[in-house]
Amino acid sequence: MTFQGWPLTSLALLLLCVVALASPLVTEDGYQFVVPTEPLPAKPWHDHFVDENAKTPEGQPNNSAKWIDWFLQRSLDNQLEKTAAQGPWETSAFFFNWAMWGYLSPDSRFQGDQRMITMSQTWLDTLQKTVATAPTDPEKAQTWQPRRLNSWGFLEYTQPLLEVLHRPDLQAKLGEERVEAFRELVLENVRHYGSAEYYNKMMEGAETYINPAVHPMAVYIHGWILTGEKKYLQMAHRIVHILGRDQLPNGMFPYRYKIYGPRHQEFETMYYHNMDLRGLYLYWWATGSQEAEAIFRKSVPYYPLNLEPPYYFNDGADIWWKDQWRTFWPEHIAMVAAVTGDGENAKIANDMARDGISGDRIDLPLGAHAYQQMGLRQVEEKPVRDEYLIEDPDIRGVRLRFGSWSSTFTTSSFTFTRASAMAIAEDHKHWSALHLARPVVVTSPLTRSDRDYNTLGRSGAFYNAALGTRAAAVATVYSPALTAATWADEQPEAPWQMREVWLLTAEGDVGLIESTVLEANEARELHHEFRFIPSEPMGEGEELGEKDWAISGIRFKVWATDLPFTILERARRSALSAEDRRDWQVTLSDQDRSPLHVALDPPAEGQPKPEVKLPETHAYPAAYSRYSLVQVSPLNGITWSGISRETQGDLAILRAQAGTRQYLVLHNAGKRSATYRTSDPAQYLVASWLSQAVPAPRQGNEVVVELPPGGVAILTR
C-alpha cells in the first residue's frame, strides 16, 4: 500500500487501522480519557535526555548544540536581550534549560563550567521572585496569576528539572532547598493544568483544533514522570491519539479540522507542525510508544514536500492569516529523522545545520538531543525527492517539483491563492516566488483589504486534475468568501463565479482566471492579483516587453486579458501586517486607481503627498465577465509561445507551447457533458476521468473528447 507513491511501513499501516476506529471517551475521576489504543507503560522508557558520556558522533552536524553555546556565551556577556531570546538571562524562560544542557553535555564547550551553576542559582532565585510579584503593567496585571508558569513553554522548566533530579550531586551544587522550591513550583502548575476542569475544557476544543493541546505536552508527559500518577500519561495519550486520528496521508496534522463541516480542512504551517512533532517527540522518548513512532513515520513526507531544496518553505497552500513564507526551525525535522531513520529528513535537517539556518531560541536542548540521536543511530542522508507530480490530499490539490522549479495548487479552506510557484537560485542561497494569483472583488476602501472577497471559504473548493508525468491541468470553479468574516457565524460569498484553469509543467505554468457576475451587485473594483516575492528585499520586476517582466528568477507574462488597467504596486508579505510591503505585484484591474503603496503609505521625507485615485462603488450587472491569461516560468528556462484562450459555451480551451511540446487544455465548467472536436494532430490524452494517459481518441480526421461536468483534460503532441 502506498500514499502518492511513498510506501507505508507495517507499523504505519497498523496505526491507520487503530486510529480509524474512533476510541470511545471514558470518564475516570472526572477526566475524559480515551480507551488506550496500545498498552500504556508502567514506567518511563527514559526519564531524562542528556547522557554525559554520549557525544554527537563526528560528521553528524548538531545545529541546536551550536546555537545553545552561542546563546550561553551571549548570556555570559550580558547581551542576551539583544538576541532572539529578547530578554536578559536572569529572566529568560530558556536560560536554565540551556545552562543545564551546557553543564552536562559533552557537545557543549561549557560542560562542567561552574559559571553555569552560579548563573542557574541566580535564575532559580529570580524565578521565585518573578512568579510572586504582580507586573507593573496594568494590562498584564489584569490577567496575572501568582506562581503560574506558561504551559506552552513548560518544556523549558521540566526538561532541566528532570536532568537535575536524575543527579543528586547536581542538586547539591544548585542547592537542595532551591531545587525543591523549583520542583514544587513546577508540580503546582502540573496540578493546575492537569486538573479535570482545565484538561477537559482544553480537550473539548482539541477535538477539532489540536495544536493548542499539543503545545503543553510537557505538562502531562513530564507530569507523569515527576509524579508517577497514571492520569497524566492518560492525558498525554489522548492528545497523541487525536494527532494520529486526524493525520492526513502525507503527514500533515490539520491546523483546524471539520469545525464547519466535513470539508473544513486548514493547512498546518511549518510552525504548528513543528510544535505538534515536539509534543510527539516528548511522548515517544518517555514511553517508547509504537503509536507515536507510527505517527512519526507517516509524517515523513511533510518536510520533503513542503520545503523546496535545500530548505525553503513553500507557503502557497497556507491559510490566509498565517501567510508569511517563512522557514522555521530544523530541530523538529531532526526529530523525524531520529525516530524514523528517514534519509530525506536527515538531509534537510543536516543542510540547515551546516548552513546555520534559523538561529532561534525554540526547543534547542530537545533539538540537540534529536541531532545526537541521528548520529548515534547512524541515520544516513539521501537526496530529497525530485521530478515528481502528485495529487496531495493534505493541501487538497497538486504539487510538482522538477529541479529548481516547483508549483502548488490548493483548494483547502481559507486559502489565499490557488496557484503558487517557487524558483530556487543555482547557488541555493536565494529564491523567488509567485506568492499568489487570485481574483479579488473589492467592496471596501483600499485601506481595508481584509474586508474584500479574496479567499476561499470554510469548505474550500472542489477541483479536478489531469495528471501526466511532467504536466498537469487543474481546474476549479468557486465563489470567493468575505475574508473579514472568517470567524463570524456566517461567512458570505460574493455573487461572482471564478474559474481558474492552470497548466502546471516541469518548465513552468500557464494560468487562466475568469470572473463572472452571477447576480447584479455593487462593488468598487474587480481585479486579478499576481503577487511576487523577489529574491532581494524590496526588489521589483524588470520589464522585458509589453506586460512581460522578470522578477528575480521568475518570468511573468500576461498573454491576454480584457481587464483594461495594469497597476504595478508594492503589496503585503504577511497578511497581518499593513506596513510590510516587501512583495511586488502586477494587478490587472477594471478600474483606473492608484497603486496600493501610493494610496496607503506616507510619502518620502520632503516629498509632497501624491494625488490619490480610489475606485468608487458602482453597479456590476449580471453576466459581466473578465479574464486573464498568464505565464509564470523560470526566467532562463525553456521558451513558451502560442499561449491563447478561447471558449465554447462552458468549455475553456487553452493552447500553449513549451519548446517543441504543444499542450491543449480543456475544462468543462458546465453541469452537462461537453464535446470538443479538433483537427490538431494531438497524440495523447490525459484526463481527470481517466486513470492513465491514452492515445488521443479519434473520429475520422478529428480528435474528439467528451468532457463530463467539471472534467479537465490535456491533449499533447
Confidence of residue 577 (pLDDT cuts 50, 70, 90): confident
Q: How many helices and strands (H and E) does the chain possess?
A: 19, 35
Q: What is the pLDDT of residue 447?
A: 65
Q: How high does pLDDT run on average in the chain?
A: 95
For residue 41, pLDDT beyond 80: yes
DSSP state of 316: T
pLDDT value at residue 2: 31
Which residues have a Cβ under 8 Å from the Cβ of 184 and sit 6 or more positions away?
A: none
Q: What pLDDT, in 10s, does the model give residues 231-241?
A: 999 999 999 99
Flag the least confident range among 2-6, 136-140, 588-592.
Answer: 2-6
400, exposed or middle or buried, with CB in 10 Å at 0-12, 13-18, 19+? buried
pLDDT over 70 percentage in the chain: 96
pLDDT for 506 equals 98
At 609 the pLDDT is 87
Count Cβ atoms below 10 Å from residue 397 Cβ, excluding itself.
Answer: 26
- Mean pLDDT, residues 605-631 taken together: 95
Is residue 481 left, alpha or beta, with left meaning phi > 0 and alpha meaning psi from -120 to 50?
beta
pLDDT tens across 644-657, in order? 999 999 999 999 99
* Mean pLDDT score, 270-284: 98
How distant, in Å, are the alpha carbons of 43, 338, 369, 705, 706 from that of 676? 68, 53, 60, 5, 6
Q: Which residue type occupies 685?
A: L
Q: Is the pLDDT of residue 5 over 50?
A: no
Tell me the mean pLDDT in the region 279-299. 99
Residue pair 679/664 in contact (Cβ under 8 Å)? The answer is no
**Is 667 in contact with 474 (CB distance < 8 Å)?**
no
Cα separation of 443 and 496, whole Å?
A: 13
Q: Is the pLDDT of residue 579 over 90?
A: no
Return the pLDDT at 20: 42
Distance CA 695, CA 706 (A): 14
What 3-state DSSP class applies to 153?
coil
CA–CA separation, 237 and 230 (whole Å): 11
Q: pLDDT tens digit string along 150-169?
A: 999 999 999 999 999 999 99
Q: Are 579 and 612 in contact (CB under 8 A)?
A: no
Rounded Cα–Cα distance for residues 135 and 133 (Å): 6
Question: Domains along the chain?
Answer: 2-135+145-376 (1.50.10), 388-465+472-635 (2.70.98)
Residues 85-115 pLDDT 10s: 999 999 999 999 999 999 999 999 999 999 9
Backbone angles phi, psi at 568, to 5 degrees: -100, 125
Cell numbers for 194, please give them.
492537569
DSSP-based three-state secondary structure for 397: strand
Residue 403: per-residue pLDDT: 97
Residue 24 banded pLDDT, cuts 50, 70, 90: confident
Residue environment code for 41-55, b if the CB has 16+ CB neighbours within 10 A, otherwise e = eeebeebbbbeeeeb
